[in-house]
Amino acid sequence: MCGIAGQFCFDGRIPDEPLLTIMGDRLAHRGPDGSGSHIRGSAGLVHRRLAIIDLSDEGLQPMTSEDGTLWIVFNGEIYNYVELREELVARGHRFHSRSDTEVILHAYEEWGADCLSRFNGMWGFAIFDENRNELFCARDRFGIKPFYYAIIDGSFFFASEIKALLAHPGIGLQPDDATLGTYLAWGVQDHSGCTMFDGILQLEPAHAMFVSAHGPKTPFRYWSTGVNPMITSDGTDDAIAAKLREKLTDATRIHLRSDVAVGTCLSGGIDSSTLTAIINSLIRNEAPASVGERQKTFSVVFSDRRFDESRFVDAVIAATGVDAYRTEPSPERLWDDIRRLVYMQDEPFGSLSIYAQYCVMRLAKERVKVVLDGQGADELLGGYLAYQGSYHRGLIHSLHWLTAAREICSSFRHHGRFFASAAGQLLARKSRRGLLRIAGPEVKRYSGSLDVVLARELASTNLPALLHYEDRNAMAFSIESRVPYLDYRFVEFVCALPLDQKIRRGVTKIALRNAIRGIVPESIRCRMDKMGFVTPEEVWMKEDLRPFVLEILSSATFSGRKYWDADAVTRNYLAFLEGKSRYSPEVWRILCTELWLREFFDTRGSAPA
């Protein structure tokens, strides 16, 4: 895991070395273990190193091929680098390091752009081919690792984070109003190749591109997967559960490859508890050196029992004997951290649950350098309760009347309070969109049948944003975060399952729940609620954060923005304080956007302490 940046000139100039140095400095938190650069011909590459695999100097970047014609800067991990290295050695390639970075170089030499289909991991990288005077850029299948770029003054600039591109005085001078409007109105971000900065783009998940002396070519998709629309299949639950458990165990095993200590983020939910249990089994049976004799877990707790999952965390600890660490986020410390949090995220974020994850990463930094997390399981296995409406709709449209009636009744029996609350939330959100003076195109996250919705959530409307948050929160503390549920082999298996292996009789994640019977405590396996790393956002916004919010709403900068009716926003917030209107995430999104505008446009992204 590292930070990368670079410049490729296609106008005959040479790269701007002082600018590249500043870009690299702005990524220092991503790579505190070393730095390097290579400037030659039309390309300049910069790297900040977080040493995870091959800690020796042989793993330093930018790294070159044997003949010195290929140069790479790489951010991420290729988990199957051991197997790929053996295959490449058999094909005559010679290696000088034990790093996965060198495996990418040789794989590109052997297979060209087709090498991407062979990688199992997460990546954002750029390879400069001196012979062709060409840059090859690629991003992993799900966008776990970032890759941003901008084209200006006859050059292609790229970086792991937007703040590095802002080192150029002509890049990102204004917000991209359409993308910002979509975020404010619909709560969706990272759903396209655009960002909230005008002129700054991102390479989308599962995409790659070439940049030549004639300029950048159109990015191309190199991988895709759909979700099976079948309602049921002939496969038995037990057989599917056994196969799923096997796939997830192997994904977790390969994600533990590391030359530094690895820990686990444990929320007490099904996904993270499953990873914790699998890792503990691997410790007993295979003793991965990266974990040690006892697994370390990192959790959020709250004194307010409405938001606290300590009892579930305790159940996992009792069952596994892990070395457990906990932290309790507070609204007071949030306001101390808020500027750095906004700066690290680069773009506004949708809720204060991001802060809970930030605190977990800060806690983990004290003891490990890598953490495993459960991101992706909800989008794969229909874990969010809002997906059930899409499931019902698909059943009705496909004329499965009896199944639809059974599912609707079961959903309301198990989750009636959620659906009643969701109806009120929809009305509150629609009303608050009226506070805005801009709005991007409507995003209908839950329109269509369940297979359509899950495919959309994986590729654009939900998972990419969550991975954005995870990457920035982890890298803010120089932590590498890994997500075994997004091992592409596991993803392809789960996507091929029929829909009733995801939702059945109002119960989510059927296949996973069946797979972990006897592995995870029953109190967690049979949980019907959904929390994860959350904060008591509504309570904080009404009580502890009230003076800070009112100060922002009364400021001249807030009143002068073109994006909202400032007086109407203030009245609406006061009505919420008085109990006359219910809370909804739009309140935080508007507030966060104001903080972001101050950080990146009023002060041009100067790094906070």
How far apart CA 75 and CA 122 sit, in angstroms, is: 8
How far apart CA 526 and CA 505 sit, in angstroms, is: 13
Other CB atoms within 10 Å distance of the CB of residue 583: 16
Of residues 2, 9, 265, 359, which has the active-site annotation? 2
How far apart CA 213 and CA 203 sit, in angstroms, is: 19
Question: What residues contact 470, with CB distance under 8 A and at least 6 apart?
Answer: 357, 373, 375, 481, 483
For residue 264, CA distances in Å to 57, 218, 247 come to 28, 38, 19
Q: Are 282 and 372 in contact (CB under 8 A)?
A: no
Residue type, 553: L
Question: Please, which residues bridge with residue 151 across strands?
Answer: 156
Question: What residues contact 485, with CB distance under 8 A and at least 6 apart?
Answer: 248, 251, 271, 374, 375, 376, 377, 380, 491
265 among known catalytic residues: no
SS3 (DSSP) at 539: helix
SS3 (DSSP) at 498: coil
Residue type, 185: A
Nearest to 421 by CA among 582, 569, 188, 585: 582
Residue type, 111: W
Residue type, 228: N
Other CB atoms within 10 Å distance of the CB of residue 93: 18
How far apart CA 462 and CA 432 sit, in angstroms, is: 21
What is the set of active-site residues?
2
